[in-house]
Structure 1
């Protein structure tokens, strides 16, 4: 069986230890010859990298491993690039969340004005990444799950329209499928999902089991009766439990389908804004919680020299997903995943150049997506408004257009008021100097 070379971009991420564990767990089905971790932040990455040395010494002795800040070392002769970068780090994420909240609207990592700011920062670095990889490994698969994935996917599709080995994908649908499995006491790998939408903005219309029974009505009944919790609820921060709990409200108000959890920010923008603490956002929760836990545990493992009994990983859906996606491509497994791709009729009454999120089989030639036909007026209206916001955001980046940025934020359902949008935009421009192109 062929052994692959991969690079993890964003090696200093708190999610990297889980990904490394997944690579160990799946070394028989997706064997590696070489693994490189790459990050521009040497200090953060060193903590994770030293943990990785201990982990691989115990669980993957045959693996050639190193971590680096040198892109020539990282991207040379690789087969897969796993990309999870965060331009600006948690310091800028905190601003993304707190600046909108100071104006009374939602401050969130990928939704609303916060997602706009993060997206504008991410585009430049993602374009540079693709160029760097293509220079050193022209045939590598770039598996991108950098947020906000919808804006990043739109930008990359414009910049590299003929590059068919850039795949944009998100782990939240996988988290939801695993959570449905927990709810039903079933194996989520047996589910066959039917899904449509935009990233962090979609719906499960059907969820078939291996006998062909649609489980969506069953899940809706359970959610209405008992509520909804994530598959790893015992290890989740409180804000995530609150996020999943709101699914019951969404299913009650809009019972047609099962929603992506992020839709609550668009269904209930005023309610959600009032529930958020402008002085302590999710960025603070992560920095004071998962960030500290992961880095403390990695340092401890490096000191004691063993990873046995480690609790450093509390959510393996993120790591398992991207490894399994690579495996499905490498060995032509043609498993079903929910991916982001150009529409071209998949959602029949949405424009063809939309970057939609749908189910697809994944094999050696990439995704073969499943169409869903026409969607109803309500869902079409929701999607088109969000799609216009995403396209205008990318227009603003490429054109350096203040007016397009203002149009984007005015259309976003978390804001809608143009005067408020202008104030937020001006504050974000000031906070993102050096990260965004100049807007005129």
Structure 2
């Protein structure tokens, strides 16, 4: 079994320790020869990097590991996989993404609504640069991308690099849901054969087959309706995530056909969800005061003590393990099933061909082999077409520097709806994102004051 050379972009992320721990746990199924972590934030990178040194010394001493802020050291000709988890602007900009919309009366959330719009407009530039940096050195490395908001990033990258077949956009939320289903049903989620359709953070499970071909979705639906829904690792989750998962029961009560992605709460019940959000203490503040603080303090403790034994720095391994099992399936031509983001091209028969849909696919050494889901009912089709139009206009606003398309995008989004609110939020976000976004210009005269 050939060992691989791997680069992690965004090594200073609070999710990186889970990824590093998973690398150790899966060293026999996905052996790595050289691992490099790259981040532009030297301070964050060093804290995680020093933790990694201790971890690998104890659990993976044969691994050639180092971390850097120098792109010349990171991007090399012999790379096999690049794992990408960038956050352009860090938590400082995430906080603005969430608070500015809330202050103006609409949903403020990291990847949904105006917050996701702002984040996407920032992420595109850095993702394009990342692909160019990798491809300047190697045409063969697989780029596995976690960078959010995944739907907008995937659409932009697909337009800018249409011939690059070794970029795969993935999200760990369907994986988290499958693990949660496994806990509810007391079954191994890796044995599930799911049928799923939608866009990223905007999709539904239609079937959940077991190893014998039995559809477990009806049983799972009844368990959710009678006992609620909690994430697989609910003992370690922040309250905001528990609130998010608790909304699944409401969605299933109102729309029982399929099982929803948790993010649909923001689009189906924006008024109800907005009432629960604190404009002065958002999810970004919760993370900075909670997970981020815990992770960095624990990494510093491990580095100081010189041992990672009994460390509790990792609280959710789905993020880290998922990208590794995806890489394994590609590297060793396993053909395992995963829910990934791909250009539609008929996979969902009655959706636009160019939509970046999230569906189940078999991952091989030659890339994904997706499974079509046929036609979907009118209600779900209508929701998805509206969301896709928003995502498409967002990408076009970035590529064309178009204020008009940015305004159209936000007006279409179900978390906003009002054109006047869309304009207010857009203008505020433009001001907050100077230096990150391209300049947006309007081809239309300014509205007259009345």
TM tier, smaller:
over 0.9
Distance, in Å, in 2 between the alignment partners of 1:73 and 1:262 is 38
2:258 matched residue in structure 1: 257
Q: In structure 2, the residue corresponding to 1:81 is in which secondary structure?
A: strand
1:329 matched residue in structure 2: 330
Displacement after TM superposition at 1:70 (Å):
1.0
1:235 matched residue in structure 2: 236
Distance, in Å, in 2 between the alignment partners of 1:242 and 1:33 is 41
1:87 matched residue in structure 2: 88
Distance, in Å, in 1 between the alignment partners of 2:424 and 2:33 is 52
Distance, in Å, in 1 between the alignment partners of 2:60 and 2:31 is 10
1:19 matched residue in structure 2: 19
Give the superposed CA RMSD: 0.4
Offset from partner CA, 1:181-229 (integer Å, 9 cap, x none): 0001111011000000000000000000011111111111000000000
2:36 matched residue in structure 1: 36
Q: In structure 1, the residue corresponding to 2:35 is in which secondary structure?
A: strand
Q: In structure 2, the residue corresponding to 1:167 is in which secondary structure?
A: strand
1:217 matched residue in structure 2: 218
Q: In structure 1, the residue corresponding to 2:251 is in which secondary structure?
A: helix
1:281 matched residue in structure 2: 282
Larger deviation, residues 71-80 vs 234-243: 71-80
Q: In structure 1, the residue corresponding to 2:257 is in which secondary structure?
A: coil
Q: In structure 1, the residue corresponding to 2:177 is in which secondary structure?
A: helix
Distance, in Å, in 1 between the alignment partners of 2:217 and 2:148 is 28
Check if 1:295 corresponds to 2:300: no
Distance, in Å, in 2 between the alignment partners of 1:230 and 1:208 is 20
Q: TM-score, normalised by structure 2?
A: 0.97
Check if 1:59 corresponds to 2:21: no
Distance, in Å, in 1 between the alignment partners of 2:58 and 2:91 is 32
Displacement after TM superposition at 1:136 (Å):
1.3
Distance, in Å, in 2 between the alignment partners of 1:227 and 1:217 is 15
Check if 1:414 corresponds to 2:415: yes
2:447 matched residue in structure 1: none
Q: Does the aligned pair in 2 maintain the 1:112–1:415 contact within 8 Å?
A: yes
Q: Does the aligned pair in 2 maintain the 1:72–1:136 contact within 8 Å?
A: no
Q: Aligned ranges for residues 367-406 of structure 1 at < 5 Å? A: 367-406=368-407
Distance, in Å, in 2 between the alignment partners of 1:126 and 1:302 is 31
Q: In structure 2, the residue corresponding to 1:368 is in which secondary structure?
A: strand
Offset from partner CA, 1:321-362 (integer Å, 9 cap, x none): 001100100000100000000000000000111100000000
Q: In structure 1, the residue corresponding to 2:284 is in which secondary structure?
A: helix
2:273 matched residue in structure 1: 272
Displacement after TM superposition at 1:72 (Å):
1.5
Q: Does the aligned pair in 2 maintain the 1:37–1:74 contact within 8 Å?
A: yes
Q: TM-score, normalised by structure 1?
A: 1.00
> Runs ≥4 in structure 1, deviation > 3 angstroms?
none
Displacement after TM superposition at 1:137 (Å):
2.0
